[in-house]
Structures are given as structure tokens and as C-alpha cells.
Structure 1
Amino acid sequence: MTVISGETIWNILEYLPVGVCIIDRDYTVHFWNSCMEQWTGKNKGELTGMDLREYFPRIKRASFQDRLGNIFTGSPPVTFSSQIHSYIFDARLPDGTMQKQQTTVLPLEHPSGYYAMFVCEDVTSLTEEIKAYREMRDTALIEMEKREKAEYDLNVANEDLLAYVSEATVRLKTPISLIEESLREILREAEWGDCDTEEMKTIVKLQIQVASTVVENLRELNEAIIAGKTEIPKAYRNMIQK
């Protein structure tokens, strides 16, 4: 069995593609790897032997202190989610915004007591993708609600139009039948030679009035259609055309 030396382990931690920091109970820094240097701009020579809280004051917050305190008694690891805490270590991105971090803190047994090892992951891209997905989902839901409302409004408009056309059809069909019957009566009387000129004039004038009513009904129907009611059932359209 190959035994890995302590020096090898430190070298592995040094070059991991995640940030690693080890502190004791007093928050004194004992290890600060290359990734942390690159992200924060603070080198290990500057931080080793120093109080981590003086360089990264967010750690002083009660929400961090309460959970970190248990690590020094050997309690299970704790995780600080980027969704809740955003970050622990100040690490600015090229655009000036802060890096989003997912940080897990593990107890590290040591002869003088438990140390705390921070393992910090850059989840900025993942966080932005999640945010973009949520925005896209919310936009899709809003569009769906708008579409459903538009469909509902269209159905209501079609029902209104159907009722209007039904009423208009009844109003139109009756006077048209009267006009037709009156004109047929005049034609029959003319064919039989019993046509009274004055009576014929009276009947024609009356039918002109009826025809005017038909025209007015058609005008109202046309205005209703122009107002946005564009869907006329074929059966009613045929009835009106007849």
C-alpha cells in the first residue's frame, strides 16, 4: 500500500481548482492555496498567521459564526449556499461584480484541536444560468397567462357576436319576408289587372320603410364587426346573405 505523505497532501490542496483555506479556533490562517490567491488577490504570505476575519469581515456575521463554531468541536461539515449567502470571500470578477461561491467547511482533526477547512467553489456561471432559467420560466408563465386571457376574451367576444348575430338574423329575416310577400302580392294584382295605383304606392312606401329598417340593422351589424368581432359563424352568415 502506498502511503501518501503530509507534504503530498498539502501539494494536492495547493493546486486544486477550488479555493482552500484552513484556520484554527482563533481564525488564524494556516493554509491559503493558489486558487484563493488568484480569486481574492491576497497571497498566502499576507494571510498566513493572520486573523481571517480582519480580511473578510463577512465571516463576523452571526449567521456564519453560529455554524462555524460547531466545526471546532468536530461536528459534521456545513455548507454555505450561494443562493442564500452569495459569497464568503470577497473575489471580484472582471466586470466588478462579486463571485458567487458555494462553500463547504469541514472539521480537520489536529493535535491541538479541530481546525476548519474551507472548500470554496466558484458557481457564478451556474448561478447565472439558474437565474436566467427562472427568468425565462417566469416570462413563459406570464406569456401563457396573457395567451389564456386573450383566448378567453376571444371566446367571450365570439359568444357576444353569436348572440348579436342571432338577434340580428331574427330582426332581418322577418321584415325581408314581409317585403317579399308584399311585392309578390303587387305582382299578382298587376298580372290579374286588379292593381290600384294608389294602393300600390302605399304598399311600396311601406316596404321602403321596412327596407330602411333592414339597412339600419345591417349597418349595426357591420359596426359590431368593425369593433373587433371578426368571427361570424357560417350558418348565420349564410342566413343573413339569403
Structure 2
Amino acid sequence: MNGRDVCFDADLYEAVFDATGDGLVIADRSSTIIRANRRFFRMTRYGRSEIEGAMSWSQIAEGGDLPALAVTGTAPAIREMRLQRKDGSFIDAAVTVRTIPGRDLFIVSVLDITGKKQVTHALQRRDAILEAISTMAGRFLAARTWEEEIPGALRGLCTATNVHRVYLFENITDQETGETLMTGRYEWTREGRGGEIATTWLRGLSYQKAGVGAWEADLRDGKTVFADIRTAENDERWNMEALGVQSFVIVPIHVGGRWWGFIGFDETREERRWTEVEIDTIEAAAGIIGSAIRRQETEEAMLAYITESALRLKNPAALLRENFEAIHDDIRDETVPKEEILTQIRVQIAAADQIAENLRELNASIAEGRREIPDAFRHFLRR
């Protein structure tokens, strides 16, 4: 028997309908779903009895009723629309609606394109984040202090990532216990600057007491932290509920090898799924912020070193000057014997040599102890 001899009976049609890779729906003129295949049930997470004869197409899909979507002819249009699952989540779908010749019915073909849409959106967000990072880096380089530019940087990242809130926390040390505490410094929300981070209970807060002690070890090690409301631990979930957060990403900021704090991204509308390319770009943003802080700290340390060195040079030089002025006065007044004056001059020369040696040793020790001094300047100080 060859293929032409196969009898296409109802059972075979049923098997083909149920086994096809796309979701298939048969609906009547009122858009009531009278038949669907297994793929469609898996897509929507409904059971057969919940859909067939019980639900209309418009209860599941956004974008119009079936008569308006149906196209006659050999090349029906493919439309993108969202379908709502039983659990309230959505999928993106490519939908084609055809009329069944001779029957007052529609057949709907549904292809799940959620993954493709997510990748496209992720790439678009990545490009937006990269643009925000580029702008941020340029502003940091031109700014006198990183604090001047951080509000604008957070605003750009909030817009580019399309989250509800972006914030910056700095670590401080409890002077009594030595414990690391987090304190909110800056924040930008979708509605504008300011928000929950400004509250006093988020300033000088212990990681352990806040119920996020696991963050401390991970962030110190340079790991990014993720969480959503469904999978968060009890204390962590309490914090999320208090702030109205559905999901978040926390990225550590390191400055010169030390863990300085973190930048966070909160989403309040839905449990967001962050892609790898998005995470890579916001980690780069955290790196740029850390570099800006490091640059300012280095400049401030160098200024402090120069001031310190100038002060240390000032007193010995002033002392020698005063001594030589006294000798000059003695010579002019001719009140001190010549031999005694020569002795005083030899003492001051020896003192000058000792001061010079002391300063060389001091500068060498400063050069060894301060990592921010450029190599060329370090070599000069050691001479």
C-alpha cells in the first residue's frame, strides 16, 4: 500500500490536528472555542474542559474578534498579539486566522514567539544601556566630583533599563562593632528623583539585620544578586513587599580592590527576566561608577600628599632661615667673635644635611606606603 491508498478518516485528521507543532484552535462565528489541540493547551496552561465550549477567543487573546481577523484568499495575514495564560502571564504569538470553506467556522494557528521577542527586546535594552553608559562615562570624566553626575547617571540607567527604580548604596563601618552597614546615597525612580531610598530605615542598615546577609559575601566576591518575589527567602521577601518590588538585580561596586557598595535595579510591575546581555551591560555601568569614585579618591589622596609634603618641608626650611638670619645679624653687628660665627655656620650646614637626609627617608617611606603615587614621581622621591 502506498501513500495514495491511505484513507484520511476522522481519526487520522484528529491525530494530525493534535500532533502539529503550532497551537491550533477551531472556533465558531461567535468566537467560542469549540476545539483546541494539545500544543495550545500547553501554551495557555488551561485544561481541555476549561477552554472547549467554555471560553471565547477574546478571553485569551488581545487584538480583536475572529471575524475581523479572518482573511480570505491564499495568503492570510500573520498578526502579532499577546495571549494570556491561566496564571495571568502573557506570551507573544504570531496568529493566523482562516475561514473553513463551506463551514461557519474559523481555524486559528498560533506560533509562540515569546523567546524571539524577549531576545529582540533585550538587545534593544542593551543598546539603550550602552548609550546611557557612554554618556555617563563622558560626564564622569569631565566632572569635578562623581557626586555631581550620579543623579543624571541613575536617571539614564533607569530610562534605558525601563525599571521602576535605580539606586546607589555605599558601605560604611559601624565604629563600635566593625560591622559592614549599607546606607542609601542616591536614587532615581521612573517618576523622578527620590523615593523609598531616602527613608531613614535604609541608612546605616546591617546586611544581617535586614535579612540579606547572603548578599554581603556574594557582593564582596563580585557576584551579582538576583531575586523575584516568588522565590525570595522570607526576610528578603518582606523587604521586597515593603518596597513593592516584584524583582530586582543588585550589582556590586568595587573601588581600588575594595567593596564600596552596590547599584540596584527594582521592577515593581512584574517579575522581570534579565538576560545575560543586559546583566553584562549593567555590570559595566557599575564598573564605570567604581572607576569614577576611584579617580576622585586618587586625586584627593594625591592632593593630601602634596599638602602634607609641603607642610613637612616648611618648618625645617623656616628654622634654617631664621638661624642664618641670626648669624647675619651677628656678623653685621660685630658682637660675636669670628671663630664662634664660623662654628655656628658649620652647625647649620650639618643641620641642613641632616634635614635633607631626613626628608629623603620620609619621602621614600611615603612613596612605599602610597599606591596612588605615579611611578615616575615615586622614583623621584626615592632619589
Shorter-chain TM band: 0.5 to 0.7
* Distance 1:89-1:116 versus aligned 2 partners, 3 A rule: farther
Match of residue 19 from structure 2 = 15
- Structure having the higher strand fraction is 2
* Distance 1:207-1:24 versus aligned 2 partners, 3 A rule: farther
Match of residue 78 from structure 1 = 79
- For 1:57, give the aligned amino acid: Q
Give runs of aligned pairs for residues 218-229 of structure 1, distance below 5 A. Answer: 228-229=370-371
Partners in 2 of 1:215 and 1:239 — Cα distance? 15
- For 2:31, give the aligned amino acid: Y
Give 1:33 shift.
Answer: 1.3
Give 1:65 shift.
Answer: 1.9
Match of residue 190 from structure 1 = none
The normalised TM-score by structure 2 is 0.38
Give runs of aligned pairs for residues 49-128 of structure 1, distance below 5 A. Answer: 49-52=53-56, 57-59=59-61, 63-65=62-64, 70-74=68-72, 76-80=77-81, 85=82, 87-90=83-86, 92=87, 98=89, 101-110=91-100, 111-112=102-103, 115-121=106-112, 123=114
SS in 2 for 1:65: coil
Partners in 2 of 1:120 and 1:31 — Cα distance? 17
2:28 to 24, 32, 46: 24
Give 1:238 shift.
Answer: 4.5
Partners in 2 of 1:207 and 1:155 — Cα distance? 37
Percent identical residues: 10
* Distance 1:200-1:142 versus aligned 2 partners, 3 A rule: same
Partners in 2 of 1:88 and 1:116 — Cα distance? 19
- Structure 2, unmatched stretches of 5+, are 123-273, 325-337
Match of residue 192 from structure 1 = none
- For 1:119, give the aligned amino acid: V
Equivalent pair of 1:19/1:34 in contact (CA under 8 Å): yes
Equivalent pair of 2:24/2:37 in contact (CA under 8 Å): yes
- Structure 1, unmatched stretches of 5+, are 183-194
- For 2:59, give the aligned amino acid: P
Equivalent pair of 1:73/1:114 in contact (CA under 8 Å): no
Give 1:199 shift.
Answer: 2.2
Partners in 2 of 1:4 and 1:137 — Cα distance? 57
Deviations 1:67-102 (A, max 9, x none): x5532344512122xxxx4x4232x5xxxx84x533
Match of residue 187 from structure 1 = none
Match of residue 185 from structure 1 = none
Give 1:223 shift.
Answer: 6.0
The list of structure 1 runs, each at least 4 consecutive aligned residues, that deviate by more than 6 angstroms after superposition, is none
Deviations 1:33-61 (A, max 9, x none): 123445634225x54334425xx7353xx
RMSD: 5.0
Give 1:4 shift.
Answer: 8.2
SS in 2 for 1:231: coil
Match of residue 42 from structure 1 = 47
SS in 1 for 2:53: coil
* Distance 1:76-1:41 versus aligned 2 partners, 3 A rule: closer
Equivalent pair of 1:28/1:49 in contact (CA under 8 Å): yes
Give 1:14 shift.
Answer: 0.8
The normalised TM-score by structure 1 is 0.54
* Distance 1:240-1:57 versus aligned 2 partners, 3 A rule: same
Q: Flag the structure with larger Rg.
A: 1
Deviations 1:111-150 (A, max 9, x none): 245614042538579959x632243233333244246536
Partners in 2 of 1:15 and 1:134 — Cα distance? 35
Aligned length: 198
Equivalent pair of 2:360/2:382 in contact (CA under 8 Å): no
